[in-house]
Amino acid sequence: MKKFLLKTLVFVCLLILILAGTVLFDIFAVGGTFKNNYQASIVDKLDRLESITEPKIILVGHSNVSFGFDSARLEEEMGMPVVNLGLHGSLGNSFHENLAKVNLREGDIVVVCHTSFSDDGLIGDYSLAWITVDNNKRIADLIEKRDYRGMLEAYPDYLCNSLFLWATGRANRDTGSCYSRNAFNGYGDIVLRPEDMAVTEEYFKTASVGVPEITEDCMNRFNEFVREVNDKGASVVIAGYPIAYGEYSDFTAEDFDDFEQKLRKYAECDVISKYSDYFFPYSYFYNTQLHLTEEGAAVRTDLLASDLKAWLNYRNK
């Protein structure tokens, strides 16, 4: 019996050493293997965020934000530096809000463009989160404790992918599509939109476009974020997102008016947009129901600038 236990202990120790060695090899020898991935744009976005010392506008949300603004245009309209922190919906609302708290300063305006207010605060896709972190401590520090278990469970998948890409010489390749780090400009906006990824009106027959849900738990968490921002002397506002509206829509402006009123009731910050103003024709969309063409992004940017100016005028009276 003692021999069996000893052998088992030796086997477990060897297994731990092998696993630890593999992890350390990945960290120190392989390094990041997704440095030209779409997710890696967050490094450049945070660099810009941390470089600005004056009051700035911080755009927060999922890919509807990264594909949905002309930040240079907004910067000129508002006379304030702009940083586009939009990334990916599968990372969840809370992760994107954490990004906004990096280098938060007095006078900053955090513009939140979430497409839903019913999340549980967790990251939705932990494998994607690992690609986003990709051996970068600055990004890893943004992961919350409640996500540690999910991150741990997803690590073997990331480790295998990382080692495979390194071993086959395919690490850090640029896909050349809109889903690459090089598709972004210096503000954090997507500016590369290959024509073969455009959508047709037929796409919207089956696209999932509807009225967002709002839950009390989500709003309680979101309002904690609002208070954290306010404690820094900055402000949070909620703005509209692009809503595809046309012959295949099964909702009305009144449906979004109801959503907007409920949001105003629960949010401890100002909702500066009328959501039906953000009803866009199908021709303004690019490759999904939430991403905009260059023309659509320009129109949305002008709408947000108008909303922000009206809010500032009201606040400063």
Domain range summary for the chain, segments of one domain joined by +: 1-30, 41-122+180-315
The reported pLDDT for the residue numbered 259 is 97
**What CATH fold (topology level) applies to the domain 41-122+180-315?**
Rossmann fold (3.40.50)
Which residues in the chain come in under a pLDDT of 50?
A: 11-12, 14-15, 18-22, 24-25, 28-29
The reported pLDDT for the residue numbered 25 is 42
What whole-number distance in Å separates Cα of residue 146 and Cα of residue 119?
A: 14
pLDDT digits (tens, 9 = 90+) for 70-127: 999 999 999 999 999 999 999 999 999 999 999 999 999 999 999 999 999 999 999 9
Helix (H) or strand (E) holding 224: helix 216-231
Query: In this structure, what DSSP letter does residue 290 have?
Result: S
Tokens of residue 286, six digits: 């690019």
The reported pLDDT for the residue numbered 8 is 57
The reported pLDDT for the residue numbered 85 is 98
Q: How many CB atoms lie within 10 A of CB 126?
A: 22
Q: Which of 296, 207, 298, 196 is nearest to 246 (CA)?
A: 207
Distances (CA, A) of 58 to 4, 47, 69, 105, 173: 61, 13, 12, 11, 29
Give the largest Cα separation in the chain, rounded: 82
The reported pLDDT for the residue numbered 31 is 61
Query: In this structure, what DSSP letter does residue 243 have?
Result: E
